[in-house]
Each structure stands twice: as C-alpha cells, then as structure tokens.
Amino acid sequence: MSQLRMTLAEIQAYVDEGEVVGSPDFFCRSVASLDKAGDDQLSFVKDRRYFDKARRTGAGALLVPERIEGFEGNQLVVSDSHRVFGQLLTKIATEKRRQPPGIHPGAHVDESAEIGSDVTIGGGAVVREGAMIGDRSVLYANTYVGQRSVIGADTVLYPNVLILEDVTIGDRVLIHGGTVVGSDGYGFVQHEGQHIKIPQVGAVVIGDDVEIGALTTIDRATLDQTVIGRGTKIGDLCHIAHNCQIGENVLVLPTVAISGSVTVGDGAIFAGRSGCADNLTIGEGAVLGGTSVAFKDVPAGAQMWGNPARDKMQEMRIQGVLRHLPEMQRELRAVKKKLGL
C-alpha cells in the first residue's frame, strides 16, 4: 500500500499551495485511484472530465483543480492537481525505496575507484578501475560501472544496469533495470564477402535529470560522444544509436529507435514505436507521431505522422482516402465494365 500518513493541512504545507474544503485535520492514510480509494485515502481529479466519477468515489479526500460540488468528502483545491499528486507520489516513492548507505560485502569496488559520501552499492555490483560515484547515489544489486566512468550525485541505477567504460552520467539521473549505456554502435564494413567490425571507441555523456526506462540501449560514439541532454526522458525498450546528439527535455516514448548520427532539437517528442533513419536532424519542438518513421529532416515545430512520416494533416487526409479504397475499387471496376475496358 502507498502510505502517506499526512493531514490535509500538512499536505497543503508540503506542496505550498491550495485551499482546503472540509476538515484540514482529515488524516490521509494512503493514496489510491478514484475507483479503489476508501474513506481514509486520498485520490486526485485531473480535470472536469472526471468530476462525475469523483462524486461517486469512496475517497475521503481529493486533490482537485477546482471545487467539486456534490462531493461529500474533503478537498484540497490546487492549481494543477495532477502535478501536485505527482509531488506526493515522489515523496512516497522516495520513502519506500530509500536505501541505507554503505557497500555490500558482496560488491566488488576497485581500490582506484572514487566513492562519494553516503553512497549505496548493492550485492553483486561491480565498480571498475578509475570510476567515480557521486554523493548519495545508489547502485542496486548486480549493477556494473566500467573503467573511467563517472556517475553524478543523487543518481540511481536499478538492478542489472550496465554502464560500460568512458560514460559520464550527470546528477539526479534514474536508469531502470536491464538498461545498457555505452554498448558498441552498429558499425561494420564489407570486405571480400565478410562483415568487418569497426570498433566504437568514443564515449556517452548523459546530462542531469535524465530518466531512462528499462531494457533500453544507448550506444557509444565511434570516435566522439553520444549525448543525451539535460531533462530528457527515455522510455522502456528504446534504442539510441551511436553518435546521436539528443537535446534537452526531449521525450522519447517506449520502443522508439533512433538511428546513428541523428541530431534531435530541444523539446522534440518521439511517440511510441516511432523512429528515424540515420544522419537526420529532427528540429526543436518537432513531434513524430506513434509508429511514424522519418526518412528526411523534420523542421522545428513540425508534426509528422505515418511511414514515411508526412505532415500530420496530409497523413490524416491520406488515411481518410485509404478507408474508402474498397468502395472506390468497386466503382472503378463498374466504370471499366461499362466502358468495355
């Protein structure tokens, strides 16, 4: 259960905003969804679309963007209920996942590695020669940090994360289980009928406040750096190839594949299962819709859909026509028959 154990007045003080409707002393034992919440639990309402559902909930208190008439429980009215609920979930997650500092006796930390203060290193973890781990960072069980790699402060590597050699990771980064950072880029050249490997000897640099989902791979550059900019969020099962330059605050949703040497501008969005060919530029603030694949540069601010990716409105018109193809085919056959063709 997601324990909260705060009164509405304490929550109001913690988030530093809001107006209480009802009792400020109402004690919120934990948090739950609107469907499952009980009379001692807190839930939230994102917007007016959920007001009718909120009136039927069993929750004892709600975080709401505006007062809901007809709800008999307590309410805390805030500017953005979804964001504020996220603050509370962050508090709960931090408390639930807190790890005591120290190095597990089953871990292997090379004597040349530099370990900051209050660091946690779990059983089976390996920290290689010349690596650096920043203050308060957490390396869960069976993580690996390669030679000369740097992990910033307050960064968390969940179990089975592999950080290979010459990778630099910033502060407050979260990397979920099974992800590999610094794997070889896919580089081969044909010679006499064989595929000859081109070693990738560059680095990876990941900025502050980045989150990387589970089972994602980020390849090292051939010679220079693969870069993931500050604040970028990458989902599960993604692949970012060698030499990519990903800007700041980019959203890469699950199962996205970005080919080698792609430059992505700040604030761009790759929706689920989208991707692009190599050596492209995806402009600042551009959006690639779900399952879309770009084969040419995407201008800043553009919204592209489809495979190959086109302007969103053009693609919607094409899809509209495609839905009528069977009918159009029957009509064409009738015309050809009438004309004797």
Q: What backbone phi and psi angles, to 5 degrees, belong to 194?
A: -120, 155
For residue 12, is pLDDT > 90? yes
Q: What is the reported pTM? A: 0.91
Q: What is the pLDDT of residue 183?
A: 97
Q: What is the pLDDT of residue 107?
A: 98
* Residue from 104, 191, 242, 324 carrying the catalytic annotation: 242
Q: What is the pLDDT of residue 246?
A: 98
pLDDT-derived band of residue 119, with 50, 70 and 90 as boundaries? very high
- Name the residue among 248, 243, 290 with its Cα closest to residue 265: 248
CATH, domain 3-96, list 3.40.50.2300, 3.30.70.2190, 3.40.1390.10, 3.90.470.20: 3.40.1390.10
Start-end of CATH 2.160.10.10 domains in the chain: 102-315
- Name the residue among 217, 215, 235 with its Cα closest to residue 226: 217
Q: What backbone phi and psi angles, to 5 degrees, belong to 6?
A: -140, 145
pLDDT-derived band of residue 341, with 50, 70 and 90 as boundaries? confident
102-315 topology per CATH: UDP N-Acetylglucosamine Acyltransferase; domain 1 (2.160.10)
Which 3-state string (H, E, C) describes the chain? CCEEEEEHHHHHHHHCCCEEECCCCCEEEEECCCCCCCCCEEEECCCHHHHHHHHHCCCCEEEECCCCCCCCCEEEECCCHHHHHHHHHHHHHHHHCCCCCEECCCCEECCCCEECCCCEECCCCEECCCCEECCCCEECCCCEECCCCEECCCCEECCCCEECCCEEECCCCEECCCCEEEECCCCEEEECCEEEECCCCCEEEECCCCEECCCCEEECCCCCEEEECCCCEECCCCEECCCCEECCCCEECCCCEECCCCEECCCCEECCCCEECCCCEECCCCEECCCCEECCCECCCCEEECCCCEEHHHHHHHHHHHCCHHHHHHHHHHHHHHHCC
To the nearest whole percent, how much of the chain has pLDDT over 90?
96
pLDDT, tens digit, for every residue of 38-48? Answer: 999 999 999 99
- Is 195 catalytic? The answer is no
Q: What is the pLDDT of residue 1?
A: 60
pLDDT, tens digit, for every residue of 144-180? Answer: 999 999 999 999 999 999 999 999 999 999 999 999 9
Q: Are 254 and 213 in contact (CB under 8 A)?
A: yes
Start-end of CATH 3.40.1390.10 domains in the chain: 3-96
pLDDT, tens digit, for every residue of 205-238? Answer: 999 999 999 999 999 999 999 999 999 999 999 9
